Structure 1
Amino acid sequence: MDEQLQTLAYAKKTAIELAVQFGPKLLVALLILVAGYYVGRWVGKLVDSMLAKLGLDEPLRVLLVRIVRILVLGLFLIMALQNLGVQLLPLIAGLGVAGAGIALAMQGVLGNLAAGLTILFTRPFHVGEYISIVDEEGTVEDIKLFNTVLSHPDRSRIVIPNRKIVGEILHNFGTLRQLDVIVNVAYDTDIRQALATIQDLLRAHPKILQEPEPFIRVLALTDSSVQIAIRPWTATADFYVTGGEVTQAVLETFRERGIQIPFPQREVRLLGPA
């Protein structure tokens, strides 16, 4: 019983000595870390405001702000460790060895990270633009460090790892797309009237842009009709809907104005004795 009491007394004495010796240092270190957190937030907001005035894209701003906050917090962490009397050189060496092992095990993740940084700094596309890459296409919804998110016209979302994007052929349609509607008219049609009719309905359509100017031209002469190409511009978000609306408007307007849309015809002659 006496031995247990002595052990408890020794443990209590040791705890008090440690608290007296390291307690103030731990408290100061904790205060340094708390100060670093708030200073990092303040500096991050300041940097974000400056980058916004420079016109940088939001994904790149977010990345740079995070880096600044981590650097500020890391600086305060070093100050806290020094206050506790921690030797930093052995710690840095150990972190270097551990970092090499982690990097080897996370090659794919780091590859996506490097590709994400490349995309953010070279900016081959922006949020809101319509792109086609790696047999996928859609409107860029978000550009992250590890992947890029596309919004498909069927309302699904496509997540592409960034390392699959860098180095591939990318088709960037931008925020505008050009429709490609082909309509056939009979050979006895007044072509000027048909072209003017198409021009009128394109001007009246709310989703058709007048700049760039719509392309309306005779495209080809087929066996049974004259082909007219209708290629107006519209916003990427309206591309699929507008294509159907223009086709329907052409059909209805041609019927109203008596412009014939022919179907293929073949003349068959039977040769033989009368």
Structure 2
Amino acid sequence: MRSRLLATLMVVSGLFWSVLLWAEDNEKPLDTPVAELKIANRSIMVFRATLLGETPETRVKRAKSAINEALEDADDLRVTLDSIQNSNLVLLGAKRAFIVSPRDVDATEYESVQQAAEAAAEKLRQVVAETQEARSIRLILRSLAATALATGIFIALLWCMAYLRRRLLRKLPDLMLRHSQALKVGRVQVIDPNYLYPLASRVLGMLRWLVVLLLTYEWLGFVLSQFPYTRPWGESLNNYLLDVAGYLLHGILGAIPGLGVVVAIFFIARGITAFSRRVLRRIAVPGTFSWLNQETLQPTQRLTSLAIWLFALAMAYPYLPGSGTDAFKGLSVLIGLMISLGASSVVGQAAAGLILTYTHTLRPGEYVRIGEYEGTVTELGMFTTRIRTGLGEVLTLPNSMITGTVTKNYSRTVQGPGYLVDTVVTIGYDTPWRQVEAMLLEAASRTPGILEDPPAQVFQTALSDFYPEYRLVAQAIPSQPRPRAVLLSLLHANIQDVFNEYGVQIMSPHYLGDPIEEKRVPKDKWFTAPAQESKKL
């Protein structure tokens, strides 16, 4: 009778638990906070559902109490599973530890309730084994010995690293001096050891601290893993380091195909650039294209290369590592915004430089007048143009200013090398114009540097109210014998001398009438002191 009664009670109890679990499983899930079951610093299970009227927090407290009581009563405990309806009962010895229901399972981590229950049971078995280990004096002493050995190796490695660093720093100056002397471009040494040594010492210091941190991290993880209570912390440190290393390795391996495409695009663009340079050099042969010659060849090659490399950069951009991240996109937008806001004047200067280049407005070596500035063009750049005046000054003019003002070129229409020299005088109507022209031509012939072929010419450019205006135009050779400013000074001096010799007054530029006394200098007064010393000139 008694055995039948026990069997009946067990059947009824099983039916009761089955009905309750079935009701809990089919009950609509409530939005309750989850609770984690941790025993001896080790995570066993995360409860997410209210089961048999108990919230996850209450289930954690009950499971902790049952597990701790079982661990205190016995050492050799078996962890088993018993399935009830859709749930699994985790047993620790003969006692119930906790129940794993379907609503406790994280679908992203486990595929079924059985799999989640087996994982929780395995962790609980590990807790039982570590509890037994913590109660063993022999195992504790072995862990202490392993910790002492690891600490000794750790200290020895730190000492060796410091010793190697000191030895390397002592030999570093000689090594840098020997190898830096070999790196020369012509006779110029590329790297100065005095500036390289601080950089190398800082790099070695950074590497040293990086190795120290890595060794400390590994030592700490090993020591924590030797003791049952701190073992979860050591495992988490080691797992984190492995995760970081795996993440970096995965990122590097994942970036290799994209980098391969970028390298291929680089070499293709380089080959196309070299091919385009050769084609443009052949096209620049005189008689092929009027807009492409030896003057415009170099800027055309630069523009072509720039266009090719910009296109290559646009093609390679999606394959760069990190190009799809928000940080990379934000940085690209920031750089584009900075360029669009700050490069308007730069783009304008570059466009003006292209206009000057392809319209052949200026050429290096020509003598020009740009606004109020006059001199020889020494450099025609993309953004600025440099001219050297006759007084030895070097002026840098923005290209946008040159395109916005009138440019007078004194070298473009001359025969051969050289430039035009012109000056204007106004003489009264009482002086015959033929005499004025002859005197101006004689002054030009006296001036060294003015060419006889083509001959100088005099033009009457205006018949004003009180005087006609005469303009002397001649051609001179650059820097032979003097710059244009000196040449003009000599020409003006000779004009004064010739007019004084023939008794003609120069009243330019504002001639109103003849004065009471003639405004001219007799020849016997040309060298009045202190000009006597310069008489031989």
If the length of structure 1 is used for normalisation, what is the TM-score? 0.65
SS in 2 for 1:132: strand
1:106 to 2:349 alignment: no
Return the match for 1:168 from 385, 405, 410.
Answer: 405
Q: Which has the bigger relative contact order, CA under 8 A and spacing at least 6?
A: 1
Where does residue 258 of structure 2 map in the other structure? 25
Aligned-partner Cα distance in 1 for 2:373–2:250: 66
1:43 to 2:276 alignment: yes
Q: Which sits farther off after the overlay, 17-26 or 52-61? A: 52-61
**Structure 1 residues 186-205: aligned runs within 5 Å:** 202=445
1:75 to 2:311 alignment: yes
Aligned-partner Cα distance in 1 for 2:396–2:343: 20
Pair 4,179 (structure 1): closer, same or farther in 2 beyond 3 Å: same
Q: Which amino acid in structure 2 is aligned with residue 124 of structure 1? A: T
Pair 100,235 (structure 1): closer, same or farther in 2 beyond 3 Å: farther
1:6 to 2:242 alignment: no
CA shift digits 1:174-229 (9 cap, x unpaired): 252125498xxxxxxxx99xx69x76x94x98733233322379xxxxxxxxxx99
Aligned-partner Cα distance in 2 for 1:212–1:109: 43
SS in 2 for 1:9: helix
SS in 1 for 2:403: coil
Pair 50,207 (structure 1): closer, same or farther in 2 beyond 3 Å: same
Pair 112,28 (structure 1): closer, same or farther in 2 beyond 3 Å: closer
Aligned-partner Cα distance in 2 for 1:143–1:18: 48
Aligned-partner Cα distance in 2 for 1:20–1:59: 49
Where does residue 484 of structure 2 map in the other structure? 239
SS in 1 for 2:269: helix
**Structure 1 residues 86-235: aligned runs within 5 Å:** 99=336, 102-174=339-411, 176-180=419-423, 202=445, 207-215=449-457, 232-235=474-477
Aligned-partner Cα distance in 2 for 1:172–1:142: 15
Pair 143,59 (structure 1): closer, same or farther in 2 beyond 3 Å: farther
Q: Which amino acid in structure 1 is aligned with residue 339 of structure 2? A: I
8 Å CA contact retained: 1:179, 1:239 = no
Pair 133,84 (structure 1): closer, same or farther in 2 beyond 3 Å: closer
Pair 137,57 (structure 1): closer, same or farther in 2 beyond 3 Å: farther
The Cα of 1:244 is off from its aligned counterpart by 5.6
Aligned-partner Cα distance in 2 for 1:126–1:82: 43
Q: Which amino acid in structure 2 is aligned with residue 123 of structure 1? A: H
SS in 2 for 1:213: coil
Pair 36,4 (structure 1): closer, same or farther in 2 beyond 3 Å: same
Pair 120,242 (structure 1): closer, same or farther in 2 beyond 3 Å: same
SS in 1 for 2:368: strand
Aligned-partner Cα distance in 2 for 1:108–1:78: 24
The Cα of 1:152 is off from its aligned counterpart by 0.8
Q: Which sits farther off after the overlay, 34-43 or 139-148? A: 34-43
The Cα of 1:69 is off from its aligned counterpart by 0.7
Pair 206,21 (structure 1): closer, same or farther in 2 beyond 3 Å: same
Aligned-partner Cα distance in 2 for 1:41–1:108: 31
Q: Which amino acid in structure 2 is aligned with residue 69 of structure 1? A: S
Aligned-partner Cα distance in 2 for 1:134–1:155: 18
Length, aligned pairs only: 245
8 Å CA contact retained: 1:181, 1:231 = no
8 Å CA contact retained: 1:52, 1:61 = no
8 Å CA contact retained: 2:348, 2:400 = yes
CA shift digits 1:69-119 (9 cap, x unpaired): 1222233334434556967xxx99x96896466333333323322322322
Aligned-partner Cα distance in 2 for 1:260–1:134: 36
Q: Percent identity?
A: 18
The Cα of 1:234 is off from its aligned counterpart by 0.9
The Cα of 1:7 is off from its aligned counterpart by 1.7
Q: Which amino acid in structure 2 is aligned with residue 177 of structure 1? A: L
Where does residue 416 of structure 2 map in the other structure? none
CA shift digits 1:134-163 (9 cap, x unpaired): 321111222222122111111211111122
Aligned-partner Cα distance in 2 for 1:57–1:18: 50
Pair 230,146 (structure 1): closer, same or farther in 2 beyond 3 Å: closer
Q: Which amino acid in structure 2 is aligned with residue 155 of structure 1? A: G
Q: Which sits farther off after the overlay, 159-168 or 19-28? A: 19-28
The Cα of 1:243 is off from its aligned counterpart by 4.7
Aligned-partner Cα distance in 2 for 1:210–1:154: 26
CA shift digits 1:113-138 (9 cap, x unpaired): 23223222333332222222232111
Q: Which amino acid in structure 2 is aligned with residue 44 of structure 1? A: R
Larger radius of gyration: 2
Alignment gaps of 5+ in structure 2? 1-220, 222-234, 413-418, 426-433, 460-469, 506-515, 519-537
Pair 17,127 (structure 1): closer, same or farther in 2 beyond 3 Å: same
Aligned-partner Cα distance in 1 for 2:406–2:495: 36
Q: Which amino acid in structure 2 is aligned with residue 153 of structure 1? A: G
